[in-house]
Chains A and B, each alone.
Chain A
Amino acid sequence: MDENIRKVSEELDSAAPGLTHQEAIEAFRIRFLGRKGTVSALFEQLGTVPKEQRGQIGKQLNDLKNKAQGLIDAATAGQQNSVINTRTDLTLPGYPVQFGKLHPLTVVMNEMIEIFRFLGFSVASGPELEHDWYNFEALNFEHDHPARDMQDTYFIDRDLLLRTHTSPVQIRVMESQKPPIRSIMPGRVYRNEAVSARSYCLFHQLEGLLVDKNVSFVDLKTILLAFAREFFGPQTKIKLRPSFFPFTEPSAEVDVSCHLCHGKGCRVCKHTGWLEILGCGMVDPNVLKACNVDPEEYSGYAFGMGIDRIAMMRYGIDDIRLLWDNNQRFLQQF
């Protein structure tokens, strides 16, 4: 036993100079003081030592243990000092701080909101669970009219539904506020459409509404061009095509010159040079009437766009489902 203790003590001495870094110290601790370490093993053999020698051997073992611990303590202290005392290795990496990121849809949405706030619009919001009145009726969607087929609707009951567009917030704003009104309404909307790479059953819209005296299509076109140039770049052009939305008249689709190819044609714009991103029009007199605004005194314009499609175009995302999978490695890219 004496012999064994002396041997281990020598091993301690020879291993001591190697205690120059954390891993070595830890390996040293496990080798000698760990549950299966050599010192611990000696303690276990203590039972086999004759009774009369046990006190003596026990003391030797305790000394050995203390010696090992002392070496560890000294090396650890030296470690801590070494960072300060010896010349620091500045190539070591900094301690990582990982910020979270905003979801790409929030990034795009915020950017749009900031542009419109700069142009004098307030942000308004409304519920996602809506009444038929706000989502359709007040927006001049007649009952039993094919216009209702334009938007596949999720129903909760006969009256309640998941809003199919952010337009019901237009009605809520006009109910709670007298003109002049200048609002934008960002939010989540729902359509009962099969999920694929190109379409999802919910998406985000940003809609704008301005009601005042003497508002005309010229004002609408002006604000849309201002937005397009802020968002897509100063060279951007816009083109309006007549279209149909029940709540605006006249209505138009707005094409924006492709910011990737500058109108020359590329894959993203399907070689047309134009991107279809926006719908707009003058607020239909029926909508103003539904909100007790006199269409002879006031006129207004409204516009709306889908955030998700614009975000996909901007970041080159080819599958809309990626936006909803929330894979950390995807989200960290924005």
Chain B
Amino acid sequence: MNHISDLRVKIGPLGLKNPVIAASGTFGYGLEFEPLLDLNLLGAFIVKGISLSPRQGNPPPRIVETPCGMLNAIGLANIGLEVFLRDKLPRLKNLDTHVIVNIYGHSVDEYGELANALKGVDGISAVEVNISCPNVAEGGMAFGTDPQVSAKVTEKVVQNTDKPVIVKLSPNVTDIRLIARAVEDAGAHAVSLINTLTGMAVDIDKRIPKLANISGGLSGPAIRPVALYMVHQVVRTVKIPVIGMGGIMDCRDALEFLIAGARAVQVGTANFVNPTATVDIISGLREYCDEQGIEDINEIIGSLLLECR
């Protein structure tokens, strides 16, 4: 029998046609991928982190490959809010998918200003708050590692926007559940995790760090088990929806996160390796559901069996 499974999920007030989202910083402004895939097939995509003013980012080298992963120290290079709204957004408005804007500020007030500037803007479905980028010396790290500061940023954004707020958590903390709970209490509609894990690599011939910035954020398959366990922990801690990510390369990886309780998944580094990874995962999920006779993907979400082993 051939039936069509329902892949729709809800992230708080936001309904997605499927649970697959392209992750911030790995999908440009979406437009870069248009020649290779139909953006309308995606559950959503998240644009590169935007700050109030444009940022040049870190000096090169910014990228180094490590076993089963990569370190990046882009330094949140971006075109800035104004140029994004003027040049990029108009080209994204007519898409039949959700465009989510990832924001990053230098202070709690800046987060507020960014949220405010996006208020009422057509074509933006939600705001993802990056409190976790480890690359920027000005204190990107500090927001996401302290529960109180995380809560303050969340509160500020929630107060200043009319859009659903997703707070993106850093894994570089002792207990991610504390941060998750704090941002839930502060009004976040969802959390997404994990951002990159801080790391470094050394050139043994020159005896210098391989990244000009010394440290960078680790992503890719190398971080998947860490990410999965954090998702598992957070799912059991908060009531708001959890969006899982970290090293998802294909449909099987995505299923691990969904079974662990993630309401949706984000695909990051995989976009570089296989530019159609997102849409391949969507068709993979559809096939899986059909094969297993699953009519609604929500049957899988959080279906992890813990007792009967």
**Is B a genuine binding partner of A?**
no
Interface residues of A (CB under 8 A from B): none
Interface residues of B (CB under 8 A from A): none
